[in-house]
Amino acid sequence: MAMTTSPTESATDTAAAPPAAAQATTVTPRRRRLSTVLGWLHGVWKVAVGWRPPMRLIAAFAWAAVISNALISVTGSVVRVTGSGLGCTTWPDCQPGTLVPEYRTGMAAIHQAIEFGNRTITGIVLVASLGTFLLITLIRPARRGLLWLAAIGPIGVVAQAVWGGIVVYTGLKWWTVMPHLLVSLVLLFAAVVTLVRLRENDSPARLLVPRPLWLLSWLTVVVLGAVVVIGSLVTAAGPHAGDATTPRLDWDIRDSAQLHADLMFLYLGLIAALGVGFLAIRAPRKLLVRMGWLVGITLGQGAVGLAQYFLGVPAGLVVLHVLGAVSLIATAASVVMATRERGPAPALTDRV
C-alpha cells in the first residue's frame, strides 16, 4: 500500500534540510587541517622535484654550520668554568616537567641560564647542519661525495644531543664531558671541509704542492688532534669540572700539562717546516695567507697556555684557550684543503 506524507511533515523536512549550496560550502575543522597538510606536502613535493637552491643559499647554511659549531664549543667552555654544568638537572628537559628553566630548584639562576643557553645553541647547529644537507640533496646532477660529507653534521649533532643526556645523568664525569668537546671539534673540521667542497666540482683533485708537503700538512692535522686530546685531559685533571662536586681525573696536572706543551712544541715545529716548504716552492698566495694565520694562532695559543699554567688556570683564559683551539681547527682544515684544487662548482639556478 502506498504511503502518503502529510503536508505538515513535508514542510518540516523541507525546513530542516539545509540548502545544497550551504552543504557544499561547509568545511569542518578536520577537513581544513587535512587541506593544510596536503597543501604543505604538495609544496614540499614541488620543491623536491623542481626547485634548485641558489649557491649563495647553500653557502649561507654551510657558513652557519661552521660558525655555530665553533660557537657551541666556546659556550660549552663557559658552562664548565662557571660551574653551570648541572644548571639543567635533567635531559632533554631542563627541569623535571619543563623544557625551560623555572628557577625553582635552588640552583642559581645564572647557572640555569648559561646551561640552557648552551643547549639552545644545539638547535641552531642542527638547523644549520641539517639545512646544509637537505639543500645539497636538491643539487642536480647529484653530488654524492659532497652529500655524504654534509651528512656528518646532522648525524653528529643528534649523537651529541644524546650524549649530552649521558653527560647530565652521569653527573658530568670527565670521561663523558671530554668526548663532548672533541666531537664538536671534529664536526667543526667537517663543516669547514664541506664549505670548501661546496664551491668545487667533483673532478679529481690536483695537488698545488709536492706530495711530501701535502702529506706533511695532514701530519700536522694528526698532531694537532693529539694536542687537543691531551689538552682535554689537562682540563679533566684541572679545577674546571663544570660543577664543584664533580670528581676530577687523577693525573698530576703538572705532568699532563708538560705532555700537552711537548706536543704543542712538536706541532709548532711541524707547521714551521711546512711554512718554510710552502715559501720555498712559492705556493699560491691563498695558501701562504692561511698558513700565516695558522702560525699566528698557534703562537697565540702557546702564550695563553703558558699564562694559564703560571696564573693558576683562571676561568677567562680557559675560555680564550678553547676559542683558540676552535680557531686552530678551522684554520688547519682550510690549510689542508688549500694544498689541492678542483675546478669551480657548476653554477646553480632556481630552475633547471
Query: Helix (H, G, I), strand (E, B), or coil: what is residue 248?
Result: coil
d(CA 152, CA 187): 7
What is the CB neighbour count within 10 angstroms for residue 326? 22
Q: What is the pLDDT of residues 140-191, one digit of tens each?
A: 887 888 999 999 999 999 999 899 889 888 888 888 888 888 999 999 999 9
Give the global pTM: 0.82
Q: 254, 242, 237: which is closest to 309 by C-alpha?
A: 254
* Cβ 101 vs Cβ 88: under 8 Å: yes
Angle between helices 55-81 and 315-337 (to 10 degrees): 150
Max avg pLDDT among 93-102, 237-246, 263-272: 263-272
115 CB burial (10 A radius; 0-12, 13-18, 19+): buried
Query: Under a CB-based contact definition with an 8 Å cutoff, are residues 243 and 83 in contact?
Result: yes
β-sheet bridge partners, residue 318 = none
Q: What is the pLDDT of residue 241?
A: 63
| CA 131/CA 189 separation, integer angstroms | 18
Return the pLDDT at 38: 76
With bands split at pLDDT 50, 70 and 90, how would you rate the model's confidence at 71? very high
Confidence band of 349 (pLDDT split at 50, 70, 90) = very low
